[in-house]
Structure formats: C-alpha cells, structure tokens
Amino acid sequence: MTTAPAAPSRRRAARSSNARPWTFYVLATLFTLYVVALYGPMACIYVLSFQDIRGGLVFPMKGLSLHWFVDLFTQVRTGDVAGSFDRSIKLAVIVTIITVVASFLAGLAFRRRFPGDSVLFYLMIASLVAPGLVLGIGVGLIFQFLGLEPSWYTSALGAQLSWTLPFGVLVMFAVMSRFDRSWEEAARDLGASALQTVRRVVVPILAPGIVAVALFGFTLSYDEFARTLQTSGSLNTLPLEIWSMTLNVTSPSLYALGTVTTIVSFVIIGACLGAIAYLQRRRAGASANH
Amino acid sequence: MSSPAASTDALGALATARGASAPAARRRAQSPLARTGWRRGLVGWLLVAPLVLVLVPFFVAPIIGVVIASFLEGDGFGGILPVFTLDNYAGVFGSALTYNLYYETLKFTLLTWIFTLVIGFWVSYFLVFHVRSKLLAIGLFLLCTVPFWTSNIIRMISWIPLLGKEGLINSVLVGTGLASQPVEFLLFSSFAVVVAYVHQLTIFMIVPIFNAMARIDKRVLEAAVDAGASRFAVVSRIVLPLSKSGIALGSIFVVSIVMGDFFVVKVMSGGGSASVVGAFYEDIAVLQYPTAAASACVLTAVVMLIVALILRTVDIRREIAR
C-alpha cells in the first residue's frame, strides 16, 4: 500500500506488455514439448501401420501398403475385430443417449437444493472414483446372484453408465453455471409453461454444452476398459479386443487397429466440435437479428 | 495510490460482484413463497430419478455385493458359500505381498501426481496468462484435449516403437554415439509406466486448472504487480491459491485412475511391477472371488479415503457450479 515502489513497477509493467517476458519463452517451450510428446508417439504407430507384409513393431518403416488393415479384418487369429467394433459403436450410442438425457435432467435438478441432494452428489463422486475393476466384479456378482447372464447390452451398459453419468453431470454443472436464470424467468413471465420453457429456452441455449456431454458419453464408453472387462459377457467390445491383442499379437495389425479406432474417434470429435461451433454461430446470428 | 483508471476498474469489479449476488439473494427470498418445500423436493427427485436408477443397481448394489462377498467363504471353484469368515481379510492384511503392492501402487500414484500437476499447472498458466489471443488460447487448449477422446490403450502401446530396445530413441542414441549400446530401462520398466500414466492423465489436470485460472480476474494480477509483487509472488500468492479447486479436482481424477489401474502397469512394466488391482485380477482369473473381494474392498476404502482428504480442502460442488 506504499506509493514509492508503484511508479517504477508500473513502468516495468508497461515495458513488459510490449516485449514478452523470459518466462513466456520457457513456458512456450514446455508447451511445445508437451504437445509433441502428446501426439508424437501416436503419429508413430499410425505411420507404422501402413507397412507391407515385412513390417515389424519398430522403425525403420518396411514398405508401404494396406496389408495390415486387410489382415486385421480377415485373419481369424486377430479375433473378432469387426464384431467387437460393431458392438462398441452400438453400445456407445446407447450410452450417449442415456447419458445426455439423464445428465441434463440431473443438471436441472441440482440447480436448486432439495432434500438429500448432497448425499446423491457424493454418491455420484464415489461412483466416479471407485476402481473400475471393483465395480465390474460387483456387477458380475450381482448378476450371478440374480441368475442373469451378463452381456454387453445389460451389465456392461450399466457398468459404463456408472462412470459416464457422473462425468456427464459434472460437465452439465459447468455448462449450466453459465446459464442466466433471468431468461427462464422471463419466459415464465411471458406465459410459457415449465415444459415450454425447457424446450424453447433452456435446451436451445444450452445446446452446445449438451453436444459436449454427448461427446463425453460416446468417447468414454467407446474407450472404456476396466468396468467392461468383467461385465461384457462372452462377446468382446473393441477396447477388450485391443487389450487381448496387446497380449497376443506382435504384428503391425495391432497398430492398424489403433489407426482405425483413432480415425473413428477423430470423426466423432470433429462432428461434435463442428456441431458446437455451428450451434454457437446460429445462436449469435439469432441474437443479432432481434 | 496508482492511476485513477485502475481504481475505476476495481470499482467496476466490485459492482459486478454485487450485481451478481443481488438476484441470487432475491431468488432465495422468493422461493419459499413460490413453491412449498416438499414440492421442490419432489420435482428435484423426479429429475434425478434416471441418475438414481443407474447408480443404485450399478454402483450401490455392486459395492454392497463385493463387501458381502468379502466376508464369505469360497468353494475354490468360483462359487461362494454362505458362511461368514474373516479369513479373506486376515489373508490380505497378513501377507507381506499386500504391503509391497501398495508401496508400488502408491509410488506410481505419487510420481504420476507430481509430474501431471507440474506439467498441467504450467501448461494451463501458459495458455491463460501468456497467450494473448483468447481464440488462440482456446484452440491450443482443444489441441491438448483431443487425445483424451481417443483410446487410452492405443496411446499406451504407441510408446512401444519409441522406447523399445530397437525403438526410435535407442536408434538415435546409438546412431549419434551418445550410447554405445541400446539403453534398456526405457521400456518394460517403472520409467515406462510413469511415462504412460503422465501421457494419459496430464489432461485431467489441465482441464480443471485451466478452468479455474480462466476465472481469475486479470486485474488482480495487475494490481499485485502495481503494488510491487515479484513474478514469483504473483504465482505463489495469487494464481496458486485461486487455482486450488482445479488442482483438487485434477488430483482426484489422477489419483483414482492410477490406483484403479492395472493394464498400464502390466503392459508397460513388462511384468516387472505389479499393482493392487492387477493382483486381485489374478485372483478372479483363478476364481477366488471372496479373496479378490476383500482385496477390492480394502483398495476402494483407501481410494475413497484419499479422495475424501482432497475434498476436505475444497467445496467441489460450489466450485464446479460457480
């Protein structure tokens, strides 16, 4: 609160707003290294998956072909890749729909206090942090006790939801915290029913956030491993297939599978980010017209 | 004190803060009149009904099932007999192996936590306070998050062609003469396990810390610099305390995921290291359900305890909804 050092430090601040401080260059280097380490290894296996029949698991690259992709979907020894791929996509779609609907409703509820809300909140956090395999064993035991046959669309679906739903609700919390309650009040003042308010005001405004929840739901399910391991029954999902391949297959087919599954992930991410950008632009356009 | 412009800024910030709290106060005053308590409770529970319908059968019931199984006898063929016993727990706590497993798992957890925290904090700091264009900052942030939405297993095995004995790093080391023969500790070692964890989990630190930092009013930092604070003091006394909620949230994710993992340890250590989860996964493979259940209960209790300790430092619900 003294006035004396204020003047020189302001001059220093003015100077540093033009020139970058040395910390900028240190942190920019760190950031670049991080991004390289993040993408570099993944890029390696995508490149290595395009080798020809002589290809091995390490560099140098031997030839250039789609041999290992064909191998992946035709060879019996690599397991049922096509079938597990199909199941994983279907399961992820079901998980996404349930996650979006349930998280949205829970997000609406958690904006107000209601009796027992804290218990439910901490139950959700507990479900999120519980070790996946423990939950998998538990679901397996419950199904065994009830005499039910575990399968990817019953026990694995439920086990995955116990992880994607808390995630979705937490994302929904963050999305809804940016929602101005007065818009909702205005709609109600203008005579909208509760359902109309949600459908015509809340959902359109929160649409980009809802797409983000869908992205979480889909990808968390599509890549889920620990909870699915004990609950998928006799048929594998894709991550389980990849897991068994890492233990058995020592050919670039494994990398080819990595490339295929990453392409699917990238398509989903691109579609969702595109949808969010589109919805936000439309919203900006709509508000400019009024 | 300083320039008049700065003080108007501070007043502006104060006014916004008051403006934001006023409608909230009004809502609180109105709500008891608008609808009665029990009706609000009913609407709330109806809205969370789908969530409850998932959590009860697929989280509460399985955990109770595991707890019950941990106190029962197994028949050794995958069956469970309805006979009460404490032998499973005696086995877990009486074995030196258990303590070794926890030592290994906690070691990996601590190392991963430190590296993800340091990298995550400084990457977020760079994006929030050093990148001047907001659009560029969001673009770079998305660049960091994209791999999170791809397969963890694939990202883990992608280190094999790099770290292996004939991998890229070793060929560069031998090729440039930095090493006379391939370095062996890179793959199938504790080093590889930590690399894979940090690669997968730093994003869990970046997202919440980035969010917490983005909410810091930049004028507070300017005011600190104006008052003569050093760059170090700004970080340690303003940015760090205000990012606490993000750090807590990120730590919860990192700790619970590393402690619940077994496949990274199994593949990346090449069998050299074991983990708590890996050990009871082996029990399941030989159909020793009650033994596995006791071990699973102890692990779950340990994870929940650590998470509860982290939660004590911050009101997570208020922080997320802020």
Inter-chain residue contact B41 with A123, CB threshold 8 Å: no
Is residue B282 domain-resident?
yes
Q: Measured between CB atoms, does B76 come within 8 Å of chain A?
A: no
ipTM of the complex: 0.84
Contacts of B252 in chain A (CB under 8 A): 125, 129
Separation between Cα atoms, residue A1 and residue A3, nearest integer Å:
7
B41, B166, B299 member nearest A58 (Cβ): B166
Q: What is the mean pLDDT of residues A117-133?
A: 92
DSSP character string of B195-254: HHHHHHHHHHHHHHHHHHHHTS-HHHHHHHHHTT--HHHHIIIIIHHHTHHHHHHHHHHH
Separation between Cα atoms, residue A119 and residue A163, nearest integer Å:
17
Q: What is the mean pLDDT of residues B121-133?
A: 92
Give the model's pLDDT for residue B9. Answer: 38
Inter-chain residue contact A225 with B299, CB threshold 8 Å: no
Judgement on whether residues B134 and B211 belong to the same structural domain of the protein: yes
| Residues in contact with B126: Cβ distance below 8 Å, sequence separation at least 6, in sequence order | A24, A27, A28, A30, A31
Contacts of A100 in chain B (CB under 8 A): none
Q: Measured between CB atoms, does B91 come within 8 Å of chain A?
A: no
Taking a contact as any Cβ pair under 8 Å apart, which residues of chain B between 33 and 52 contact chain A?
40-41, 43-45, 47-52
Give the model's pLDDT for residue A133. Answer: 92
Is residue B73 domain-resident?
no
Q: Worst-scoring range by mean pLDDT, A203-207, A279-283, B142-146, B300-304?
A: A279-283
Inter-chain residue contact A141 with B66, CB threshold 8 Å: yes
| Residues in contact with B31: Cβ distance below 8 Å, sequence separation at least 6, in sequence order | A112, B40
Judgement on whether residues B277 and B201 belong to the same structural domain of the protein: yes
């594998």: which residue's tokens?
Answer: A236
Q: Worst-scoring range by mean pLDDT, B58-72, B93-107, B180-194?
A: B180-194
Indicate if the pLDDT at residue A55 is higher than 90.
no
Q: Which of B47, B65, B80 is the last residue of a domain?
A: B47
Contacts of A138 in chain B (CB under 8 A): 61-66
Judgement on whether residues B251 and B308 belong to the same structural domain of the protein: yes
B62, B151, B166 member nearest A138 (Cβ): B62
Inter-chain residue contact A261 with B52, CB threshold 8 Å: no
Task: Write out the residue range of the structural domain in which residue B256 sits.
Answer: 96-321
Distance from CA of B197 to the nearest CA of A (A): 12
Contacts of A44 in chain B (CB under 8 A): 158, 161-162, 168
Looking at the structure of chain B, the number of domains it has is 2
Indicate if the pLDDT at residue B24 is higher than 60.
no
Percentage, residues of chain A above pLDDT 90: 29
**pLDDT-based confidence at residue A75 (cuts at 50, 70, 90):** low
Percentage, residues of chain B above pLDDT 70: 88
* Cβ atoms B142, A273 nearer than 8 A: yes
Judgement on whether residues B155 and B41 belong to the same structural domain of the protein: no
CATH number for the domain spanning B312: value is 1.10.3720.10
Give the model's pLDDT for residue A214. Answer: 92
Contacts of B285 in chain A (CB under 8 A): none
Percentage, residues of chain B above pLDDT 90: 42
**pLDDT-based confidence at residue A94 (cuts at 50, 70, 90):** very high
Optimal mutation site among A133, A251, A267, interface B, most CBs of chain B within 10 A: A133
Give the model's pLDDT for residue A76. Answer: 62
Judgement on whether residues B188 and B296 belong to the same structural domain of the protein: yes
H or E element in which residue B82 lies: strand B80-84
Q: Give the residue among B22, B25, B8, B16 at the shortest CA–CA distance from B215.
A: B16
Q: Measured between CB atoms, does B79 come within 8 Å of chain A?
A: no
Q: Does the A80-289 domain belong in CATH 3.50.50.60?
A: no
Give the model's pLDDT for residue A266. Answer: 87
A9 or A271, which is more confident?
A: A271
Q: Which of B47, B63, B84 is the last residue of a domain?
A: B47
A10, A23, A30 member nearest B2 (Cβ): A10
Separation between Cα atoms, residue A89 and residue A95, nearest integer Å:
10
Contacts of A49 in chain B (CB under 8 A): none
Is residue B55 domain-resident?
no
Optimal mutation site among A103, A141, A184, interface B, most CBs of chain B within 10 A: A141
> Which residue of chain B comes nearest to A258, CA vs CA?
B154
Judgement on whether residues B115 and B37 belong to the same structural domain of the protein: no
Contacts of B60 in chain A (CB under 8 A): 123
Is residue B302 domain-resident?
yes
Inter-chain residue contact A137 with B292, CB threshold 8 Å: yes
Judgement on whether residues B117 and B41 belong to the same structural domain of the protein: no
Inter-chain residue contact B122 with A27, CB threshold 8 Å: yes
Separation between Cα atoms, residue A270 and residue A276, nearest integer Å:
10
Alpha-carbon dihedral angle through residues B23, B28, B30, B31, given to the nearest 10 degrees: 130
Q: What is the mean pLDDT of residues A79-106?
A: 92
**pLDDT-based confidence at residue A5 (cuts at 50, 70, 90):** very low
Inter-chain residue contact A181 with B157, CB threshold 8 Å: no
Q: Measured between CB atoms, does B126 come within 8 Å of chain A?
A: yes
Inter-chain residue contact B54 with A269, CB threshold 8 Å: no
**pLDDT-based confidence at residue A14 (cuts at 50, 70, 90):** very low
Q: Where are the domains of chain A?
A: 80-289
Q: Where are the alpha helices (DSSP H) in A132-225?
A: 132-146, 155-176, 181-189, 194-197, 203-222
Report the largest interatomic distance among the alpha carbons of chain B, rounded to a whole angstrom: 81
Contacts of B143 in chain A (CB under 8 A): 35
Contacts of A35 in chain B (CB under 8 A): 143-144
Judgement on whether residues B161 and B43 belong to the same structural domain of the protein: no
Q: What is the mean pLDDT of residues A245-255?
A: 80
Distance from CA of B203 to the nearest CA of A (A): 10
Give the model's pLDDT for residue A11. Answer: 45
Contacts of B168 in chain A (CB under 8 A): 44, 58-59
Contacts of A174 in chain B (CB under 8 A): 211, 320-321
Q: What is the mean pLDDT of chain A?
A: 85
**pLDDT-based confidence at residue B154 (cuts at 50, 70, 90):** confident
Inter-chain residue contact B151 with A132, CB threshold 8 Å: no
Indicate if the pLDDT at residue B54 is higher than 50.
yes
> Which residue of chain B comes nearest to A121, CA vs CA?
B317
Is residue B42 domain-resident?
yes
Judgement on whether residues B296 and B192 belong to the same structural domain of the protein: yes
B47, B150, B168 member nearest A265 (Cβ): B150
pLDDT of A171-226, one tens digit each? Answer: 898 888 878 888 888 988 898 888 888 888 888 888 888 998 998 899 899 989 98
Contacts of A219 in chain B (CB under 8 A): 148-150
Q: Give the residue among A49, A127, A39, A94 at the shortest CA–CA distance from A237.
A: A94
Optimal mutation site among A34, A113, A148, A175, interface B, most CBs of chain B within 10 A: A34
pLDDT of B213-265, one tens digit each? Answer: 988 998 999 999 999 998 889 999 999 999 998 999 999 999 999 999 988 99
Q: How many CB atoms are closer than 10 A to CB A53?
A: 12
Percentage, residues of chain A above pLDDT 70: 91
A158, A226, A266 member nearest B54 (Cβ): A158
The tally of CA atoms less than 13 A away on the side-chain side of residue B308 is: 9
Judgement on whether residues B28 and B108 belong to the same structural domain of the protein: no
Give the model's pLDDT for residue B31. Answer: 47
